[in-house]
Amino acid sequence: MKHLGTVTLETPRLILRRFTLEDSETMFNNWASDDEVTRFLTWPTHTSVQTTREIISMWINEYTSEKCYQWCIELRQTHEAIGAISVVHLSEEISSADIGYCIGKAYWHQGITSEALTAIIAFLFNQVGVNRIEAKHDSNNPNSGKVMMRCGLKYEGTRLMADRNNSGICDVALYGLIARDYTPTI
């Protein structure tokens, strides 16, 4: 793999870029403070903008590593932070990247997450050179799986009672795609 870090990527509607401290309030307001958005996530709902600011500060520090892949999903039309997408686990041994994402409720069901994930998949396969991309979701959150399938990931199975999120212990549906089977979807 040739690590490049969190470089700016653009799609027709989005700018995928590094977070800045100026994103703290919009991140807090658009998704991090919303219990409905964080219901199936593994990090707790933020209770203050200060918490959000501390998380973003940590990410900013991590940007010094070329192995850090943490993007802000910015809506091109409004220049507003509306979500996040990142490599939550990177395995050098098998050249794989595990992707996680979330987006504000006001932006659900508009194809925005699929557009962001499609760009990240292309970047990771074509520029970083990963061999495998994977993602997972709580089986009670099938819309996340629809995003994964729309972006070319294949359902690989469900691990029963294998994870914990803000809803408790949950079954986890697993999806993956390997480089030799990758076909650009945009």
Q: What does the pLDDT read at residue 184?
A: 83
| 172, 163 contact by CB (below 8 A) | yes
Q: Is the pLDDT of residue 19 over 80?
A: yes
Q: What does the pLDDT read at residue 185?
A: 67
- 96 DSSP β-pair partners: 91, 132
Reported as a single tens digit per residue, the pLDDT across 63-90 is 999 999 999 999 999 999 999 999 999 9
Q: What angle do CA 114, 60, 51 make, to 5 degrees?
A: 85
Segment (H or E) for 86: strand 80-91
Average pLDDT over residues 12-23: 98
Average pLDDT over residues 3-8: 97
177: amino acid identity, one letter: L
> In angstroms, rounded to a whole number, what is the distance separating the alpha carbons of residues 149 and 142?
11
Contacts of 146 (CB under 8 A, 6+ apart): none
Length of the chain equals 186
Contacts of 54 (CB under 8 A, 6+ apart): none
Q: What does the pLDDT read at residue 160?
A: 97
Q: Rounded to the nearest 10 degrees, what angle do helices 142-150 and 112-123 cross at?
A: 50
Reported as a single tens digit per residue, the pLDDT across 109-138 is 999 999 999 999 999 999 999 999 999 999
Helices (H) then strands (E): counts for the chain = 5, 8
> In angstroms, rounded to a whole number, what is the distance separating the alpha carbons of residues 27 and 124?
25
Residue with tokens 């061999």: 131
| Contacts by residues 51-57 (CB-CB < 8 Å, ≥ 24 positions apart) | 52/24, 52/25, 52/27, 52/28, 53/21, 53/24, 56/19, 56/20, 56/21, 56/23, 56/24, 56/27, 57/21
> In angstroms, rounded to a whole number, what is the distance separating the alpha carbons of residues 47 and 132?
35
Average pLDDT over residues 53-68: 98
Q: What does the pLDDT read at residue 179?
A: 97
